Amino acid sequence: MGTQPDIAALSFEEALRALEDVVRRLESGEAPLDESIELYARGDRLRAHCQARLDAAQARIEAIVADRDGKATGTCPFDETAA
């Protein structure tokens, strides 16, 4: 399968492209069994890396909650809607 970069060093976008390549290769059905097993394991590591990067990004992104005058009154997690 050639030399591949360390997954931990990949950006989210690089890891996602690598994961898409793994999926494409597995779906083609052309990889021998042993290579398919290696691809699957690498894909699982890439998926976990992408999920960790997304989780870290979500933890950093917060929506600013404003009062009627538009002044910030606090923050709430990104995925919550302000009332």
DSSP 9-65: GS-HHHHHHHHHHHHHHHHHT-S-HHHHHHHHHHHHHHHHHHHHHHHHHHHH-EEEE
pLDDT tens string 54-66: 988 877 765 455 5
Provide mean pLDDT across the span 62-76.
63
Asked if residue 43 belongs to a domain, the reply is: yes
What is the rounded CA–CA span in Å between residue 20 and residue 17?
Answer: 5
Asked if residue 1 belongs to a domain, the reply is: no
Quote the pTM value: 0.70
Domain extent at residue 35 = 7-77
Whether residue 70 is predicted with pLDDT greater than 70 in this model: the reply is no
Asked if residue 83 belongs to a domain, the reply is: no
Q: How many domains does the chain have?
A: 1
Q: How confident is the model at residue 82 (pLDDT cuts 50, 70, 90)?
A: very low
